Amino acid sequence: MSKEPESGRYAYEGLDRIMHEKARLGILTSLAARSDGLRFNELKELCSLTDGNLSRHLQTLEEAGLIEIWKGWQKRRPQTLVRLSAEGRKRFMAYLAELERVIGDAAAAVNATSAKKNKLPDGWAPA
């Protein structure tokens, strides 16, 4: 007798679409590692993004309240510094916890199915 699945068990509501995009995930991870923030060009290099692409992702993250963008000058050259906001750090940590849950569920499922013989009951055939 098979156990009834829990409704929504694998919905992973904590995976925020804003953070889940590959480039934004890289940006947030880079910023999480540097609490003092990173300059625009450092972020661009770390995440292998173009100026325009990075600017657009930063705009999305700033609108979501995940990052802070600071403008300043260094040796008469304009500089942009990007940092995780306090709310951004909190939400990113919650997002990472949800990712850990996904990984744990997937690993448990793979281990459970690899332990069983992968045979279907009679009457089933490849489509």
The 10s digit of each residue's pLDDT in 17-44 is: 999 999 999 999 999 999 999 999 999 9
Return the CA Rg of the chain.
21
pLDDT at residue 113, rounded to an integer: 73
pLDDT value at residue 127: 85
Query: What single string gives the DSSP state of each residue in 35-57?
Result: TT-EEHHHHHHHHT--HHHHHHH
Domains of the chain by start residue, with CATH: 17-104 (1.10.10.10)
Nearest to 35 by CA among 107, 88, 83: 83
pLDDT value of residue 66 = 98
73-80 average pLDDT score:
93
